[in-house]
Every structure is written in C-alpha cells, then in structure tokens.
Structure 1
Amino acid sequence: MRSKSSRSRPEPDDQATELDRTDRRILKLLQEDATLSNVALAEQVSLSPAACLRRVEKLKRDGVISRVVAHLDPEQLQAGMVVLIGVVLDRSTPESFAAFEESAQKVSGCMECHVVTGEFDYFMLVRTRDSQSFNRLHAEQLLYLPGVRQIRSFMGLREVVSTHKVPI
C-alpha cells in the first residue's frame, strides 16, 4: 500500500491505493460485518492483532475505509418504499446543476443522487413510507427543486438486490 497524508478525507489521487491479498480479505470481512473485533478479524486473516489493527488504521487513513455505519432495516423504520426518480433540468449550466444538487441534498428520504448520462440529468433514490407519503413529498418538495423541467418517478415493487458491498 502507498502512503498518503494523514488528513481525515484524503484528496483523490491519480492512482488507487495498492491493496494486497490480506488488505482485500480485511475489507471483504469488514463489509460483511464491521462489528468484528480486531482480535477476531486478525485471526481470520492470519495476522497478529497489532498488525491487523495497523492495516485497518492505514486503510482508514488512506480513505479506502471512508466510514463505518450501521445498516438499518427500512421496513422497521417506516421507509420501506423505494422510489427511483429521473430528473431532467431545463438548462445544462454549472449554475443550474449546482442549485439542483444543493437542493437535492435536503429532500426528505433521499438516499442517493447521481448525475447520469442519457435521457435524464439525475437519478435520485428516495425511501418513503408508502405511495401517499411519496405523493406528499412530490407535492411539497420535488416540484420545487430548482431548474427542473421534468420528473419521472418509478416505484419499486419488490427488492431483488440491495447491497452496500463494493466489489473487491
């Protein structure tokens, strides 16, 4: 692995951090269960606890591990409905993109927002309780997003695949 500065959020680099087989195994195991103790993790990757901890800390410093979070069950939190929203802006200017992106971050239940190619400018992934709550969100927030010419909503009927795991 290549060393970078110890800033909390490293700047993107031209080259990705070089990972060996042990680093990749650590990352796979932590993606599966981030609550693994360092001792258990070290045992599974055949390292001493001290060596394992040094590697995990380096992966964090290098920004490979950006954060550790709890993965929650949306159904139990009344956010079981997934809605994919395609957005077309009325202009393609840096100012209109910036205004939309700033506002999109404030949309209730917005889990993701991506600039995309093709027919739409953005795709948003929103979680909400049900179709009625999405209808309220649409009327109270989505219609007022700046610079929007068109919004198309796609309600998820059944989740087939949903993962937080990055391919390693």
Structure 2
Amino acid sequence: MKNERAASLTLSDLDRTDRHILRLLQADASVSNQALAEKVHLSPPACLRRVERLKKAGLIRQVVALLEPQALDMGMLVMIGVVLDRSTPETFEDFESAVQKVSGCMECHVVTGEFDYVMLLRTKDNESFNRLHAEQLLYLPGVRQIRTFIGLRQVLSTTRLPI
C-alpha cells in the first residue's frame, strides 16, 4: 500500500519540506544529502528517504549536469517549425523515429497551430547548421515544410519548474 501511494504522488500531496527539497535540487542537484538535510531542517536519513520517495514517485525524473553550449561550440540555437505532408499515425511515427537521430536536436514537441512539430536544436554556427539542414533535415520523412528561426539573443532559459 505504501509503495502504491509513493507512485501516485501529485503536487497537492507534497508538504512544504518536499517542495523545499525540490526547489533546492532544481537549483543545484549536486548538493550533498548532508547539506540538503541541513537546509530543509531534517536529519540526513529522513532527507534521503524523502528524496528517494520523490524519485520513486516520478517527481524527480533525472539528475543531470547542465552544460554551457558556447563553451562546447554549440552556441547557435535553432528553432524549427515542421509541417508534415499527411496527418496519419504512420507519418507521425516515421517522423518521430527519424527526429531522434538528428544531430544536436535537444527537443521535439507535437504542437497545435501552424506547425505539427517544433524542434529545438543546438549547433556551432550558420555553416554547421547549413550542413545539418542539407544532410539530415531535408531527409526527414513525411515533411512538407520546414520553417527555421535562429535565436539571436537568449532572454530566458531555465529548467526550474515553479513549485
């Protein structure tokens, strides 16, 4: 019964301490359990149990390091709107399978409105994007139209959810 409860946690099930833990981990997931426990006023074992419960419930999906794109020659941000030629399950499935292999593709979302998908890519510069476009994007299956938007200046980028 206890495991079933943990697996079905929602935002409304979280107390102030759970929310505080999540906010702190969003800011710096490399914080030690000892330091985290001190910040949320719990013993280290109690804090670790809460973090493990949040992980098991799927509220903490993954712990990662956020890399600096410019330092890794991936400073160009490209947003791409994609329109498919047909709206069939097979067309969507083929496109979604192929887009998984596009170099530098960070995100791909099914959207409403003018496009079927919006993709977010990182690449080095115009030349590398042109090569990516010619070698990969033009060959995505089922695509009728691609509209490209180059990011000029980042105003906001965050991974933090407002909890």
Q: TM-score per shorter chain, which class?
A: over 0.9
Instruction: Name the residue aligned to 2:10.
Output: 16
Alignment partner of 1:51 is 2:46: yes
Aligned equivalents of 2:4, 2:77: Cα separation in 1: 38
Q: Secondary structure at the match of 2:4?
A: coil
Matched pairs, number: 161
Aligned equivalents of 1:142, 1:148: Cα separation in 2: 9
Structure 1: 5+ residue stretches without partners: none
Instruction: Name the residue aligned to 1:69.
Output: 64
Alignment partner of 1:4 is 2:8: no
Alignment partner of 1:130 is 2:125: yes
Q: Secondary structure at the match of 1:123?
A: strand
Shift of 1:3: 4.1
Alignment partner of 1:166 is 2:157: no
The one-letter amino acid of 2:75's match is G
Counterpart selection for 1:99 from 91, 94, 98: 94
TM-score by length of 1: 0.91
The one-letter amino acid of 1:104's match is V
Aligned equivalents of 1:124, 1:146: Cα separation in 2: 15
Contact 1:96 1:147 in 2 (8 A): yes
Partner deviation per Cα, 1:92-135 (whole Å, 9 max, x = no partner): 00110000000011000000000000000000000000011000
Partner deviation per Cα, 1:25-53 (whole Å, 9 max, x = no partner): 00000000111111110111111111000
Instruction: Name the residue aligned to 1:119.
Output: 114
Counterpart selection for 1:87 from 77, 82, 92: 82
Q: CA distance change for structure 1 residues 105 and 5 in 2, over 3 Å: closer, same or farther?
A: farther
Shift of 1:16: 2.7
Shift of 1:5: 8.0
TM-score by length of 2: 0.94
The one-letter amino acid of 1:79's match is M
Contact 1:103 1:145 in 2 (8 A): yes
Aligned equivalents of 1:34, 1:51: Cα separation in 2: 18
Contact 1:4 1:62 in 2 (8 A): no
Q: Secondary structure at the match of 2:145?
A: strand
Instruction: Name the residue aligned to 2:25.
Output: 30
Aligned-residue sequence identity (percent) comes to 68
